[in-house]
Amino acid sequence: MSAFVKKYDEYLDETYYYMKHSSGLDIYVMPKELATSYAMITVKYGSFDNRFAPKGKSMAEMPEGIAHFLEHKLFDNQDGSDTFEKFAEMGAFCNAYTSFDRTAYLFSSTEGHRECLGLLLDFVFSPYFTEESVKKEQGIIAEEIKMGLDSPYNRCFHLLTRLLYTDHPVCREIAGSEESVMQINRDMLYSCYNTFYAPFNMVLTVSGDFDCNEVLTLCNKKLPRLQHKEFTRGEKAEPRSVREKRGEESAAVSKPIFCVGFKDDGIEKKGRTAMRRALAADMLCDLLFGQTSTFYGKMLETGLADRISASYLSCRSVGFAYVNGTSEDPETVYGHIMESVREMKHSGIDRAAFSRIKKAMISDMVRSFNSTEEICELVADCALTGCDVFDYGEVLRSIGVEELEFLLCELFDERFAAMAVVNKNGEGAPSSENEEEE
């Protein structure tokens, strides 16, 4: 236990233990007396990172979707065994996912958690790729991409990103395109793995029936002793301006789908600054377009729009608020969205509504500490942002109305807004420059 630093939050009455392992891995242990134990290895590597340069080398550009492809292939074993079956035999559930800025490997179990953690460390740090298995996976992922393109909500969201951003990887599908995955080969996978899958670029979070000493013992045994190899990510700077204000496609939908976005500035924010802005922006989205908002009530009362949701996406240099839903008249809905923004700027934020939403967010945060899965996800998310999980509650409680009113004017600016629409087949044609890049 002495190698770990104990962190305690009096407000939450919660404790976690942290250490920087000799390999460079950040380890967070949250002992909890709950039915399920959970562990997750998060790699600071996602779909944004298809351009990179190891120190002293020129910039390499990989096919889109390679981070997601690598996630799939890491479950391969040299002896031909099935990693998922190994976890299932121990009564555990195993999974993985890739997003814009990370790849995560995880399991949940009700017993045998120590053996499961050992298996998790084993397969994440034991890559085995063959040209034959890569070719087989290309077909599997191509089918997965087709399924994603069949989702009209997914298409509308990614059309919005292509309207908001000029030349940023957020515009592209996380899984890539059918064409790009066919370009991926074994050597590329090893190149990406050797660059990003080093302990110093990863975070291990475990929660449940875990003991710090057993976690440390497993890490000492399983983790590779790799040198810290620096690299540069090849993301490009983005202007605040949007590329286009409107875009549309067509799909087999019963009612047109709309997605209206407000592009935030392109300044990369880290740590508590990034956390604070994201939390404040989420509050504003709820105040403006949430289920208790005037806008939401008006849309349902008039039947103009339904299935409405709003959120703020924050990831490295990307940030935008968006509201989506379905409507037979998206342009009229757009007008109501802008009217709601103007009205709140003119009248100010309702203090009672602000207090209610803030209390609800604090309550959700407190409840998350009763789930080993939510704890691990929240701790990892904070670690990747560059702050402490206990900052979350402190920052959330300190956000005031005046701060939100300032952000309202800065973020919800119609000059930096765009609307994507997926029409019913036959009611609109996709613009050629807005088609999926394949």
The whole-angstrom separation of Cα 106 and Cα 87 is: 11
| The token pair that represents 206 in the structure block | 């475990």
N-to-C CA span, the chain: 52
The whole-angstrom separation of Cα 149 and Cα 160 is: 14
User: What is the β-pairing status of strands 103-109 and 26-31?
Assistant: unpaired
State the DSSP code for 285.
H
Distances (CA, A) of 148 to 31, 131, 173, 178: 38, 26, 9, 11
The whole-angstrom separation of Cα 106 and Cα 117 is: 9
Reply yes or no on whether 328 is catalytic. Answer: no
User: Edge to edge, what strands does the sheet with 51-54 contain?
Assistant: 60-61, 51-54, 231-233
Is residue 75 within 8 Å of residue 95, measured between CB atoms? Answer: no
Strand blocks (E) in 4-54? 5-9, 14-20, 26-31, 37-43, 51-54
| The token pair that represents 28 in the structure block | 């967070």
* Active-site residue, selected from the candidate residues 10, 64, 71, 248: 71
At which residue do the structure tokens 């087949």 appear?
425
419: helix, coil or strand? strand
Catalogue the active-site residues: 71
